[in-house]
C-alpha cells in the first residue's frame, strides 16, 4: 500500500483542479455572479412590519398589505444609482398592471419625493424605512433588491441589483405566470 500512496497527492491536486475548472466555467461569461447571495427568506412569509409613508405621501406599507395578491416589493433609495437604472423597468411593469410596493431605504423625504416626481411613481404603496430595521427583517444587503411575493404573503423570489428587461422576461414573467396559475 505504500507504493500506491505516492499517487495520492497527484489525485488530490487533479481533483482540486477539476473543481476549479468547473467553478471557473460556472462563473465565466454569462455564468453566475458569485457575489450574489441566495435569500434565506425564500418560501417564508413576509416578515412582520409596519412602515409609515414617506413624509408628504399618504400610503405606508405593512405586512398585511402584501397578502392581497401577487406583488413585487422593491427596495430603493434616491441616492442609489442602480435604482435609477432600473426605474424605467419598474414603470413598465406597473403600466402592465403588476402591483409594486416600495420600501424606501434610509432616504431624505424630499429627495425621495423628487426622485418619484422626476422619474415616475410605479409604487402602489411605499413604506419609509428610515432606520434600516425593516430592511434587516427582509434580509436585504444590497440596493436595489426586488422580491416576488405571492398572494398568501410568501416570498417566492429575490433579485439583487437592478432589474432589466432580461430579468423581467427570463425570471419574473414565468414565475408570476406559474404562481398565479396555482
CB of 56 to another protein, least distance (A): 23
H or E segment and range at residue 147: strand 145-149
Based on the shown chain and the rule CB under 8 A, indicate whether residue 135 belongs to the binding site for another protein: yes
The pattern of x and - marking residues 20 through 59 that bind another protein according to CB under 8 A reads xxxxx-xxxx---xxx-xxxxx-----x------------
Q: Residue 64 or residue 132: which is nearer to another protein going by CB?
A: 132
Based on the shown chain and the rule CB under 8 A, indicate whether residue 7 belongs to the binding site for another protein: yes
Phi, psi (5° rounding) for residue 14? -65, -45
Residue found by looking up cell 444590497 in the block: 142
The Cα–Cα gap between 77 and 27 comes to 29
Q: DSSP class of residue 172?
A: I
- Cα–chain center distance at 136: 13
Residues of this chain that bind another protein (CB under 8 A): 3, 6-7, 9-10, 13-14, 16-17, 19-24, 26-29, 33-35, 37-41, 47, 106, 131-133, 135-139, 141-142
Amino acid at each position: 500500500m505504500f507504493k500506491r500512496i505516492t499517487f495520492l497527492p497527484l489525485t488530490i491536486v487533479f481533483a482540486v483542479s477539476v473543481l476549479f475548472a468547473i467553478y471557473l466555467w460556472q462563473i465565466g461569461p454569462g455564468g453566475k455572479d458569485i457575489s450574489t447571495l441566495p435569500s434565506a427568506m425564500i418560501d417564508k412569509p413576509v416578515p412582520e412590519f409596519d412602515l409609515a409613508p414617506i413624509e408628504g405621501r399618504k400610503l405606508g406599507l405593512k405586512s398585511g398589505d402584501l397578502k392581497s395578491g401577487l406583488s413585487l416589493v422593491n427596495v430603493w433609495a434616491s441616492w442609489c444609482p442602480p435604482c435609477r437604472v432600473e426605474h424605467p423597468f419598474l414603470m413598465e411593469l406597473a403600466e402592465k398592471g403588476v402591483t409594486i410596493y416600495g420600501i424606501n431605504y434610509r432616504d431624505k423625504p424630499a429627495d425621495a419625493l423628487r426622485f418619484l416626481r422626476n422619474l415616475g411613481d410605479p409604487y402602489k404603496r411605499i413604506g419609509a424605512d428610515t432606520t434600516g430595521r425593516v430592511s434587516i427583517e427582509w434580509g436585504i444587503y444590497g440596493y436595489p433588491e426586488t422580491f416576488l411575493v405571492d398572494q398568501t404573503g410568501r416570498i417566492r423570489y429575490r433579485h439583487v441589483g437592478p432589474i432589466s428587461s432580461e430579468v423581467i422576461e427570463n425570471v419574473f414573467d414565468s414565475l408570476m405566470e406559474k404562481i398565479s396559475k396555482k
